[in-house]
A and B are shown apart, each in its own frame.
Chain A
Amino acid sequence: MAHVHLEDGAFSLFWVIVWTAIALCLIWIAVYVLGRRESLTTRKMAIAAMCVAVGFAIFQIEVPIPFIGAIHMNLTPLIGILVGPGIGSLCVLIINIFSAAIGHGGWGMIGANTIVNLIEVTMGFYLYKFCRTTIKLGRFPSGFGAATIALITSAFAVVAIVTISGIQDSAQGAEDTLRNMLLLAAVNVVAAVIERVVTGYIVSFIGRVRPDLLPDYERGGERESGKPEKEAIPGV
């Protein structure tokens, strides 16, 4: 949802290099940690690849919204909840590469977009875990809450990235750019309500249908009270 919706040429070469370098460092850390723990089994790799394919397919669907135009969901907090921040970070990088290949975001924006998506994946995972294990909320409120905070944070990360970088060839200063981008972030945060609700529903749905697909701390598939969760998706 909240990624840098800019095409190539919007940032200067310096900032393209800076954001790409930061993203590469973060991805290198993820690859190193996964390799060191030897946790990237064939099963996890295949599941990560399927998550990329589904995430990319969903990412391409433009959902028309009155007065806003259209939004699309990338469900990155959900990917984080399902596969964790390590594998999730590899997933978002590949989704961004696929997207750039077909003009959905620029090649030079892969770095900036990956940073934003990494925030969503990481926050989505840890916040969901916190809600489930510490606050002991149900799956829907945990998924909704984690996605809400992750998406709002990433929307402001977009504002920060664009404000720091500036738009190439624009005479506007950081203050004007910040004002413009805050307006865009406000629209993004409002439109992201749909993604938050969908994330909560999907987590709840998977918890009922295939609880074993959720992370280890979810084992049991029932709330702490022992009562099964209320059917979140009527008729499905």
Chain B
Amino acid sequence: MSRRSYSKHIPDFRLISHYAENGKSAVHSMNAWTKIALLACVLALAIVLGEILLLLLLYLLTLALFVIARLPLRLLVGWYSLPVFFVVTLALFFIFTEPGHELVSFSLLGIHVVITDAGVLLLAKLMLRALAVVTFSLALVMTTRFQNIMTITSRLLPRPLANIFLLSYRFTFETTDEVSDVLDAMHSRSGSLARGIARQTGIFAGIFGLGFIHAFERGERIAKAMEARGFSGKFPEHGSLTRPSVGGYALVTLAAVCFAIALYTRYFDSSLLGGL
């Protein structure tokens, strides 16, 4: 299978789909509802947990799940680039101004810059929270088959939204390939995006404009095909998604209890954590 992506830093939908459809691991066989519920718990825990050790534990647990699912860690490291970039971009504005004990200080263009322990701790916490959720989220999409995503989407979202979601999920592969082709063609002619900003904005617009025109044309063709096949406003569901197993319920209950404890200790009684 060929792997095509804009760069090593952006998850490739086709590869994600390949792992989701063909992978065989304990996480792949886990019920999709269980994984969705666990994602909600991981998200809630990442938001509510305030202690760095507990956040580190949460991150390690999500990483362990990724490993158990036999997903490629090397790719994950590359895919961390965007979340890390976003966290650092934000933290840069706070790390130097956060009140706390001075760790490092220097002068930059006549401005006295101070990095405090609280600033570094804030960066570390934001990073662990982001990476924990990203790791679990990627593990979820890389271990859940499209058929199950389709069932869950149809049940959770209102019909118009679910229909657009499901159609766009399928179209994403096509459009990603199309944009990749255009970028490949540009690179093969010694073009570059960096140069494009100053001198080739028109070409950019041409690439994206053509993308939209092709999208509209393809959309019209697909709509005609759907109507010709008697589309009634709802996509047929193939197969059914069973209820979670007892083990799945137990896992979700455990995660929910952890969240409830974290919520209580964070907002009502922090003495429960002891010395953490």
| B-binding residues in A (CB < 8 A) | 5-13, 16, 27-28, 31, 34-35, 40-43, 45-54, 56-58, 60-66, 69-70, 73, 75, 78, 82, 90-91, 93-94, 97-98, 100-108, 167-172, 176, 180-181, 183-184, 194, 197-198, 201-202, 205-206, 209-210, 213, 232-236
Contacts and interface: CB of A to CB of B under 8 A. Distances in A.
Contact of A94 (B165, B218, B231): B165
B114 to A, nearest CB: 14
Contacts of A235: 202, 206
A54 B212 contact: yes
Interface string B1-21: 000001101110100100000
Interface residues of B, number: 89
B191 interface: no
Interface string B181-204: 001000000000110110001111
Contacts of A181: 93
Contact of B208 (A103, A184, A202, A213): A202
Interface string B63-96: 0000000000000000110110111011001100
Nearest to A89: B161
A201 B201 contact: yes
Contacts of B210: 236
B145 interface: no
A197 B97 CA distance: 35
Contacts of B201: 194, 197-198, 201
A53 B126 contact: no
Contact of B163 (A8, A45, A64, A210): A45
B164 interface: yes
A180 B98 CA distance: 11
B161 A90 contact: yes
Interface of B: 6-7, 9-11, 13, 16, 39, 43-44, 46-48, 50, 79-80, 82-83, 85-87, 89-90, 93-94, 97-100, 118, 121-122, 125-126, 128-130, 133-134, 137-138, 140-141, 158, 160-161, 163-165, 167-169, 171-172, 174-176, 178-179, 183, 193-194, 196-197, 201-206, 208-213, 215-220, 222-224, 226-227, 231, 263
A107 B134 CA distance: 9
A47 B216 contact: yes
Contact of B204 (A9, A78, A100, A198): A198
A170 B90 CA distance: 12
A88 to B, nearest CB: 11
A18 B46 CA distance: 17
B130 A61 contact: no
B160 A168 contact: no
A107 B41 CA distance: 12
A184 B89 CA distance: 9
A233 B202 contact: yes
The interface centre, meaning the residue of A6, A73, A202 with most chain B CB atoms within 10 A of its CB, is A202
A183 B203 CA distance: 30
A28 B160 CA distance: 11
Contacts of A78: 212
A103 B171 contact: no
B178 to A, nearest CB: 8
13 contacts: A49-B164, A50-B219, A53-B175, A60-B10, A69-B85, A90-B164, A94-B168, A103-B130, A167-B94, A176-B97, A198-B201, A198-B208, A213-B216
B248 to A, nearest CB: 20
Given A50-B171, A61-B179, A167-B122, A10 B90 contact: yes
Contacts of A171: 98-100, 118
A57 B122 contact: no
A98 B172 contact: yes
Contacts of A50: 168, 171, 175, 215-216, 218-219, 222
